């Protein structure tokens, strides 16, 4: 699943890995800023590039049970957040296939 090459994003605002500045997502793919990660505030994105996805795990969250995969930077291997594979609560289905990036693990690269 991991990509061997890195993609470069362009736009008015690009978020990158705080460790190695690899491009990850743009403001245009951001759905919400109102999420909590494991290290504080987190953002929900429609699409993220230059990541490796881990194995699926069931996780109990404040919003119910979800199947998620941790996501890692393709260059430096830093954990960045997770991807939602499945939400068990109907009201949370919109998160399926979407990505959480932790704000503290991001830098503005552009
Ligand atoms: Zn990195």
Please report the pLDDT score of residue 7 as a whole number: 86
Domain presence at residue 6: no
Classify residue 68: in a domain, yes or no: yes
SS3 content of the chain, % helix, strand, coil (to 5): 10, 55, 35
Q: Is residue 74 part of a domain?
A: yes
The tally of domains found in the chain comes to: 1
Q: Which residues have beta carbons under 5 A from ligand 1 (an ion)?
A: 17, 19-20, 22, 73, 75-76, 78
pLDDT at position 8? 87
Residue 81 included in any domain: yes
Domain membership of residue 100 as a residue range? 14-108
Does 51 fall in a domain?
A: yes
Please indicate, yes or no, if residue 64 is contained in any of the structural domains.
yes
Q: Does 58 map to a domain? A: yes
pLDDT (0 to 100) of residue 20: 97
Low-confidence ranges of the chain (pLDDT < 50): 1-2
pLDDT tens digits, 16-35: 999 999 999 999 999 999 99
Closest C-alpha to 17, from 53, 56, 49, 55: 49
> What pLDDT, on a 0 to 100 scale, did the predictor assign at position 3?
52
Report the CATH number at residue 44.
2.170.150.20
Cα 17 to ligand 1 centre (Å): 5
Q: Calculate how far, in angstroms, residue 91's C-alpha sits from the geometric centre of ligand 1.
A: 33
Ligand 1 midpoint to CA 89 (Å): 32
Structural domain includes residue 7: no
């Amino acid at each position: 699943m991991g990509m061997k090459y890195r993609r470069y994003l362009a736009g008015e605002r690009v978020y990158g890995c705080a460790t190695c500045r690899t491009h990850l997502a743009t403001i245009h793919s951001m759905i919400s800023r109102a999420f909590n990660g494991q290290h504080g505030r987190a953002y929900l994105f429609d699409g993220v590039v230059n990541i490796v996805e881990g194995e699926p795990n069931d996780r109990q969250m404040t919003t119910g049970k979800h199947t998620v995969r941790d996501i890692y930077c393709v260059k430096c291997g830093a954990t960045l957040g997770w991807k939602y594979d499945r939400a068990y609560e109907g009201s949370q289905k919109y998160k399926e296939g979407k990505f959480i990036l932790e704000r503290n693990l991001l830098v503005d690269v552009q």
